[in-house]
Amino acid sequence: MKIGVFVCHCGSNIEGTVDTAAVAAAAREFPGVAFATDTMYTCSEPGQEEIVTAIKEQQLDGVVVASCTPRMHEQTFRRTVERAGLNRYLFEMANIREHVSWIGKDREANTNKAIDLVRMSAAKLLHNRPLLSKKFEINKRVLIIGGGVAGIQAALDCAEGGLQVVLVEKTSSIGGKMAKLDKTFPTVDCSSCILGPRMVDVAQHPNITLHAYSEIDEVSGYVGNFEVKVKKKATYVDWKKCTGCGVCMTKCPSRKATDYFNEGIGKTTAINIPFPQAIPKKAKIDADFCMKLQKGKCGICEKICPTGCIDYSQQDEYVTEKVGAIIAATGFDLFDWTVYGEYGAGRYPDVITSLQYERMLSASGPTGGHIKRPSDGREPKNVVFIQCVGSRDKSVGRPYCTGFCCMYTAKQAILTKDHLPESRSYVFYMDIRATGKNYDEFTRRAMEEYDAKYIRGRVSMIYPKGDRLLVRGADTLMGTQVELDADLVVLAVGAQAAAGANQLAEKLRISYDSYGFYMEGHPKLKPVETNTAGVYLAGSCQGPKDIPSSVSQGSAAAAKVLGLFSKDKLESDPQVSMVDIKRCIGCGKCMKTCPFGAIKEIDFRGMKKAEVIETICQGCGICTSTCPQGAVQLQHFTDNQILSEVNALCQF
């Protein structure tokens, strides 16, 4: 084998602490190396041309590039060697940037380590074999998990692009958090007026199958061919017959059921349709509050229902959906603010969350759009807003900025003035983060035109004083402690990862950060991809996002899926396990350890043998380390290849 070695300067990133010319000179002495040089930027166009030219002129049949991490440019250089006629697996990369130049300052030691890494790569390359991908069929359907605005956008874009879409929503209606909002910033347009038609589109689109009140039970398979088991939770109502007339709600005697849609402001009936614009507009029974299901008495809804759709014996149902790609759009939950003793820890009825306030502002909400104190129904005069509740606070494990609270608080201050012109709004803030288009102008308008009084500082305590609340905090701009007499306190509660996000991530085999938000493939360049092929992200499940960003990401994820499905077949990764049938003793250990079920037992002339299903194998390598015979070998990482690296490193 004739190997060419290219040692990259990466400007001064590598050359700053590594003598690349010396590395190239040392590489010329390694077995098999026929050519070695150092280049300024190997990944640049002239850098890649240099490789192509050297392969042709020197008749090279293997290439080592010593530069950055393979995560950055392995694909780039594989394509380069392919362009020059070599198989893409006759290429090795030595990471002398992240593993050498960026982590050490001693030029001599760095140079020696870089030489070692190049020696290892060259030694492995001598054992590399050309590998070829196989093509496999894909199922051009997409599963979208979560029917919030991001999921809705992704579903509609995919459906418009001609794909069959399966949309799974946990609650009994799509719409997500946006459906709960009264108005949206910075335009103050009605939230349900802009979202409602999109929800209807989802219901009516011939390409979209909606599973509401459903959850993901199991996910198996791989990009192009996932199999997803969806649990359709029992609603005790036959949705095929239910017309959404709502008669059951008017007669249900159990009127103290938790009203999740209205964030607990007010109560609802045990059988309910969460809100008038719900999609699907179907009733479901909250079993915890249903007298018939709890005590066996009542049954009024069954008697009254004009279509006879009530079914108290209904059980959870499972359906299996076969799809080629998955978009996770599971959104966020609100931070549990009751950990803050200083805000009353939930003891004072007139201290509410911003989302509860939003329901109060909404004309279709439990107060019919009237701002009333939960304690006595009186209209408040002084409304105090507190920002950063569960944001930017290490003490409660939420050091990140939720990013949209500044904006919705300004909106709520504006709406408060619209609803109650005599009222006064006070906003405690730390910084005003209004970085979107027309956002800062909006917060300024709240102060300049709607007379919202902004106070820079945090609140130290809230306590009752007569029938009002006394709010004590700081005004750091005045440099003093301040007190306010408040009638209503609204907490701008931050966002956290949705409940159950971690379990879903494990089912999808995607990673999440320490706060439970899903990890994107690359923070800048792969914002909607995950590191699992065929699984994409949209909306706040990846990190808190406002509506425009969630919608953008929904569309971006849809574009990625449409791109993936633009090919009729996908290429499999040939870096998978292979069984050497001569060495296999049929012990079955590999089958037991494989986490993907990618190894099956076959009968070979009456003998038990293992066989790898190439399209399912993910190349994790667990089987190779389990096999007592060394019969299973992970291609491109065979024992011989790895041992040759070890030998190259440990020769002295």
Partner 1 sequence: MNVINITSSCNSDFVSQVEEESGQKLSLCYQCGKCTAGCPYTTEYDIPVSQIMRLIQAGQKELVLKSKSLWLCATCESCTARCPNKIDVARIMDVLRHMARREGYSGVKTVKTFWDSFLNSVQKNGRVFEVGLLANYISHTGRFWTDMGLGPRMLPKGKIHLKPSAMQGREEVAKIFSRYTQESSK
Catalog residues that contact partner 1 under the rule CB under 8 A. Answer: 382, 424, 426, 444, 447-448, 451, 453, 455-456, 472, 475, 477-486
Give the torsion sign (CA, 468, 473, 476, 478): positive
- Long-range CB contact pairs, 510-515, < 8 A, 24+: 510/328, 510/535, 510/537, 515/397, 515/398, 515/400
Judged by beta carbon, residue 409 or residue 615, the one nearer partner 1 is: 409
Judged by beta carbon, residue 336 or residue 467, the one nearer partner 1 is: 467
In sequence order, the 6+-apart residues with CB closer than 8 A to the CB of 203 are 210, 279, 280
**Least distance from partner 1 to the Cβ atom of residue 444, Å:** 7
End-to-end Cα separation, the chain, in angstroms = 24
Q: What is the rounded distance in angstroms from the CA atom of residue 426 to the CA atom of residue 153?
A: 36
Q: Where are the alpha helices (DSSP H) in 213-323?
A: 247-251, 291-295, 300-304
> Can you tell me whether residue 498 is helix, strand or coil?
coil
Give the pair of three-digit tokens for residue 353: 């969350």
In sequence order, the 6+-apart residues with CB closer than 8 A to the CB of 405 are 354, 387, 388, 391, 492, 493, 494
Judged by beta carbon, residue 37 or residue 382, the one nearer partner 1 is: 382
Judged by beta carbon, residue 419 or residue 445, the one nearer partner 1 is: 445
Q: CB count, 10 Å around CB of 629?
A: 14
**Least distance from partner 1 to the Cβ atom of residue 453, Å:** 7
**Least distance from partner 1 to the Cβ atom of residue 439, Å:** 14
**Least distance from partner 1 to the Cβ atom of residue 389, Å:** 20
**Least distance from partner 1 to the Cβ atom of residue 469, Å:** 11
Judged by beta carbon, residue 261 or residue 343, the one nearer partner 1 is: 343
Q: What is the rounded distance in angstroms from the CA atom of residue 565 to the CA atom of residue 148?
A: 24
Question: What are the DSSP E strand ranges found in 117-254?
Answer: 135-137, 141-145, 164-168, 183-184, 189-190, 208-211, 214-222, 225-232
Cβ atoms 58, 35 nearer than 8 A: yes
Give the pair of three-digit tokens for residue 479: 């440099």
Q: What separation in angstroms does the CA of 137 have from each of 94, 224, 324, 436, 481? A: 34, 7, 10, 43, 68
Judged by beta carbon, residue 110 or residue 387, the one nearer partner 1 is: 387
**Least distance from partner 1 to the Cβ atom of residue 480, Å:** 4
**Least distance from partner 1 to the Cβ atom of residue 365, Å:** 27
Question: What are the DSSP E strand ranges found in 223-299?
Answer: 225-232, 257-258, 267-268, 271-272, 284-285
**Least distance from partner 1 to the Cβ atom of residue 357, Å:** 19
Residue with tokens 């425009």: 548
**Least distance from partner 1 to the Cβ atom of residue 191, Å:** 28
In sequence order, the 6+-apart residues with CB closer than 8 A to the CB of 596 are 222, 616, 617, 618, 620
User: Which one, of 465, 421, 412, lies nearest residue 442 by Cα?
Assistant: 412
Judged by beta carbon, residue 475 or residue 611, the one nearer partner 1 is: 475
> Can you tell me whether residue 496 is helix, strand or coil?
strand
**Least distance from partner 1 to the Cβ atom of residue 416, Å:** 15
Tell me the backbone φ, ψ of residue 441, rounded to 5 degrees. Answer: -55, -35
**Least distance from partner 1 to the Cβ atom of residue 523, Å:** 31
Judged by beta carbon, residue 29 or residue 485, the one nearer partner 1 is: 485
Judged by beta carbon, residue 64 or residue 486, the one nearer partner 1 is: 486
Judged by beta carbon, residue 294 or residue 481, the one nearer partner 1 is: 481
Judged by beta carbon, residue 336 or residue 448, the one nearer partner 1 is: 448
User: Which one, of 75, 67, 15, 5, lies nearest residue 42 by Cα?
Assistant: 67
**Least distance from partner 1 to the Cβ atom of residue 429, Å:** 11
Gyration radius of the chain over CA positions: 31
User: Which one, of 485, 574, 586, lies nearest residue 87 by Cα?
Assistant: 574
Judged by beta carbon, residue 329 or residue 484, the one nearer partner 1 is: 484
